[in-house]
Structure 1
Amino acid sequence: MITHFQYKPLFKQANLPGWRISFYFRGTKYDGIYHKDGQIEWGTILPPKEDVMNLHSQIHELMLFHVYE
């Protein structure tokens, strides 16, 4: 489960798409960029391959709730 999820606009103009995201998953901090098309560009630490689909789904749901409400 994702904890401490945070996001902020990638650009100062909030109407331009793209957000920096960060969160904890199983005790490891991850960060990256969430693009307007739903793709995630991971930061320096990549999640395990077996968790990527699950994380992508959870992040997408969180972004829908917070950004596209």
Structure 2
Amino acid sequence: MKGMRYMLQHFTYKPMFEGGQLPGWTFSFHYKNKRYSGDYRQDGSIIWAGETPPDEDQVKKMIHELMTFHVYE
């Protein structure tokens, strides 16, 4: 389906270290019926745990938006 925008579903995140202090968070979500996970670092970089999702740049933008909303607000 051309032009259809997929959303991240069941997005969850938690601090990498107890106490919620930086340097980052682990996250997971479903995208196009597949589960992905990784680490979100303090500098905004993403390290994938396993397979990289298709449309990686678009997915990274969605993750940045979600993390900015949940962690920094």
Q: What TM-score does the superposition give when structure 2 sets the normalisation length?
A: 0.87
Structure number with larger C-alpha Rg: 2
After superposition, where does 1:34-49 map in structure 2 within 5 Å? 34-48=40-54
Identify the structure with the greater helix proportion: 1
Aligned-residue RMSD, C-alpha: 0.8
Between the two proteins, the alignment pairs up a number of residues equal to 67
Identity among equivalent pairs (%): 49
Q: Deviations over 1:17-50 (max 9, x none)?
A: 20000000000000000001111000112112xx
Moved segments of 4+, more than 6 Å: none
Q: Deviation at 1:16?
A: 2.2
Give the TM-score normalised by structure 1.
Answer: 0.92
- Is 1:63 matched up with 2:49? no
Stretches of structure 1 that go unaligned for 5 or more consecutive residues are none
